[in-house]
Amino acid sequence: MILVTGASGHVGNVLVRELVNRGEKTRAIVLPGEDVSMIELDGVEILRGDIRDRDFVIKACEGIETVYHLAALISIMPTMKKQVRSVNIGGTENVIHACKVQNVGKLIYTSSVHAFTELEPGSVIDENVSFNPARTSGVYGKSKAEAVLNVLTAAREGLNAVVLCPTGIIGPFDYKLSEMGNMIRLFATGKLRIGIEGSFDFVDVRDVVRSEIEASIKAKAGEVYILGGEVISIRELTDILHQITGKKRVNTFLRSSSAYVLSAVSTLYYMISKTKAAFTPYTVHTLTRNYRYSHEKASRALGHNPRKVSESLRDAVEWLSGYGTIKLNQS
């Protein structure tokens, strides 16, 4: 049997359904109270609990051959430090411990490219770049870097564990509205009026899932793989969304200095209004580094073959429209 933590998330729900399609019996961990309609399928056993509960995680890993550890708290807000660390670091420590106790055959840990040590802007990031919480930015990136180090230590001690680092994930089946899904929603509703002069690497959720499964078969213990896609500027990305949706273009793009000032004000607004953050200093920092992430290793070892961003965006918009998150017939 296979265990998936964070099973109701963007990658998680796509992974669960792909595993079911392949005839795998799957145990899915979700938080109490979460909507699980997207993974209520034959062959899926749903467990409600919190990965911060060590005893719960140990029990969940009983009789499991492979664990896909996806559960994480993704936040670009600076006020979430304690919660982010408790889930991303403490939860991962519990999963590692449970895998050892229950003699799990393989642990596939999904981290993030934000965990890598930050180099000079415009640099190429590959798997030779180190993980160092002190040399990456933001609570999320630091927590992911520390968790990766714990997984790699466990691998050196004998646990069959692999680390996967996706870039910016986009695509359909975004039930809980990811960071990128929220950006598409804002664009489609005319609320995204200002962009940032920057770029990022985006990868389709379906391509990530395929490579996750390949990693469970082919990846060697202690290896790290970047699951990247295509680098695209934010200006190009919003132009593609304009072409897909027919909505107004974003015509104003700020350079980093101006963007930082505006993002600080925006962060205050998000904190007061308790709305989903989309434009914070961390967002500006990330998009203006203009890194190039190499996925050559994953392509070579796992057959990682990402599709074009334009295809992913089109499918994401179509799915969000069909699900009712956005309405494309609005003026």
For the chain, what percent of residues have pLDDT higher than 70? 90
Question: d(Cα 182, Cα 77) in Å, to the nearest integer?
Answer: 15
Q: Is 4:71 a contact under the CB 8 Å cutoff?
A: no
Q: For domain 2-170+202-228, give the fold.
A: Rossmann fold (3.40.50)
Q: What integer pLDDT is reported at residue 259 of this predicted model?
A: 65
H or E element, residue 48: strand 44-48
With CA atoms as reference, report the closest residue to 11 among 206, 142, 148, 186: 206
Task: Work out the angle between the directed axes of helices 205-218 and 10-21 (0-180°, nearest 10).
Answer: 60
Query: In this structure, what token pair is assigned to residue 209?
Result: 């899932």
- Report helix, strand or coil for 174: coil
pTM: 0.92
Torsion of CA 306, 122, 74, 28, to 10 degrees: 30
**Cα distance from N-terminal residue to C-terminal residue, the chain:** 49
Q: What integer pLDDT is reported at residue 331 of this predicted model?
A: 41
Q: What integer pLDDT is reported at residue 328 of this predicted model?
A: 83
Residues in the chain where the model's pLDDT stays below 70: 75-79, 258-280, 329-331
Q: What integer pLDDT is reported at residue 255 of this predicted model?
A: 80
Q: How far is CA 10 from CA 91, 125, 185, 239, 278, in A?
A: 19, 24, 15, 24, 17
Where are the chain's structural domains?
2-170+202-228
Beta bridge partners of 3: 27, 67
